[in-house]
Amino acid sequence: MSNLQIGLAVAGGIVLAAVVAHGAWTSRRNIPRQPDPEPAREAEADDGDKEPVFDEADFAANGLGIPAPERKPLLDVLIDVIAPIALDNPVSGEAALATLPPTRRAGSKPFAIEGLNEKTHQWELPHAGQRYTAFQAGVQLANRSGALNEIEYSEFVMKAQAFADAINGAPDFPEMLEEVARARELDQFASAHDAQLGFMLLARQTAWSPGYIQQNAAHLGFVNGALPGRMVLHASKPGMPMVLGLAFDAQAALAEDMSQSAVHELSLSLDVAQVERSERAFARMCEIATSLAQTMDGVITDDNHRPLQPEAMAAIGTELEKLYDTLDARDLSAGSVLARRLFS
């Protein structure tokens, strides 16, 4: 073989190697980022066949007890129309339950009936084994579907009147036009102070697999939600709404082989009125977005995919503090029972 042939063969080999290397690099680049393998847990020699034992005392001592369910909110004149129902004689909880209307709504507004407990002298939702000396019916003035209107008020009156008739009670309904006007004013306030914020995180180059997203989000405190592609950051108090939500393509999360599902963006969301101010929800949202962007090689944007700079985030935070102050002044503090009812 001549020197020329040898040189051409070597050059061809180099070119072929370069093509193969480029193809492999391109292939790797197109594979979604995968989660790191979880470290194997070391098994203790003497625990091989030992069944785990639930120690309830130790569980409670470490603050891990099952939280008690949150008490349902009571009617409040601040956001409800309330109609007292007077009684000649106490009524049992069983009788009240048997005559409650089948639905707990008047149109799109929550409807409730509460009884004044004969023993505790506290208003509560009726339940068996108790006796009540009075009742009150209520319907919410406004929620995110709008203000209470005349048709919904009329439905409220019919439901409350039917209940009162069944227990031989005498209802006293507020004047409809006044309550509807109050509902409109409350709705205007709520609409002007309802903040639901969202960030997007976009992959710069390589897409992410669902497992990669879940692993990195879990490191920051998120857990899987009820729906595919949804994760939540729980509040510090049991029974409270989530602090933040994280979402990505549900179809990717449902794929048979999630490692091959390519996700190019995810969203972080905050429903301001639902979360207590003390949770520092927006500050944590910014911190989490920044951390994920650095770890996952992403860029933070708004809903229109326009990059968000730290200065813009700081400005949003300043405006949110004003919003919190306004809600506090109206006795509708973010995360309170009344705020969560109104902004729902």
Query: What per-residue confidence (pLDDT) applies to 155?
Result: 98
Q: Please answer whether residues 175 and 2 qualify as being in contact, where contact means their C-beta atoms are separated by less than 8 angstroms.
A: no
Residue 330: pLDDT band with limits 50, 70, 90? very high
Residue 259: pLDDT band with limits 50, 70, 90? confident
How confident is the prediction for the chain on average, in pLDDT? 86
- Determine the longest span between alpha carbons in the chain, in angstroms: 119
Average pLDDT over residues 78-82: 98
Domain ranges for the chain: 80-192, 196-342
- Whole-angstrom distance, CA of residue 47 vs CA of residue 41: 13
- Given a cut of 90, is residue 93 above it in pLDDT? yes
Which of 39-43, 186-190, 223-227, 238-242 has the weakest average pLDDT?
Answer: 39-43
Query: What per-residue confidence (pLDDT) applies to 33?
Result: 83
Residue 112: pLDDT band with limits 50, 70, 90? very high
Residue 211: pLDDT band with limits 50, 70, 90? very high
Same-fold call for 80-192 versus 196-342: yes
- Whole-angstrom distance, CA of residue 118 vs CA of residue 38: 58
Query: What per-residue confidence (pLDDT) applies to 30?
Result: 62
Which of 4-13, 133-142, 197-206 has the weakest average pLDDT?
Answer: 4-13
Written in H, E and C, the secondary structure of 92-103 is EHHHHHHHCCCC
Q: What is the pLDDT of residues 160-192, one digit of tens each?
A: 999 999 999 999 999 999 999 999 999 999 999
Which of 35-39, 213-217, 246-250, 286-290 has the weakest average pLDDT?
Answer: 35-39
Q: What is the pLDDT of residues 9-67, one digit of tens each?
A: 444 444 444 444 444 444 445 688 888 886 654 444 444 444 333 344 443 444 444 44
C-alpha 19, offset from chain centre: 50
- The pLDDT > 70 percentage for the chain reads 81
Query: Which of the pair, 278 or 255, is modelled with greater confidence?
Result: 278
- Whole-angstrom distance, CA of residue 186 vs CA of residue 80: 10
Residue 129: pLDDT band with limits 50, 70, 90? very high
pTM summary value: 0.80
- Whole-angstrom distance, CA of residue 229 vs CA of residue 324: 30
Query: Which of the pair, 74 or 224, is modelled with greater confidence?
Result: 224
Average pLDDT over residues 92-106: 96
Three-state DSSP at 85 gives: strand
Q: Tell me the CATH class for 80-192.
A: alpha beta
- Whole-angstrom distance, CA of residue 104 vs CA of residue 98: 14
Residue 1: pLDDT band with limits 50, 70, 90? low
H helix intervals, 110-224: 150-166, 176-192, 210-218
- Given a cut of 80, is residue 105 above it in pLDDT? yes
Which fold does the domain 196-342 belong to in CATH? Cell Division Protein Zipa; Chain: A, (3.30.1400)
Query: What per-residue confidence (pLDDT) applies to 6?
Result: 47
- Given a cut of 80, is residue 222 above it in pLDDT? yes
- Whole-angstrom distance, CA of residue 104 vs CA of residue 116: 19
Which of 59-68, 115-124, 194-203 has the weakest average pLDDT?
Answer: 59-68
Query: Which of the pair, 22 or 199, is modelled with greater confidence?
Result: 199
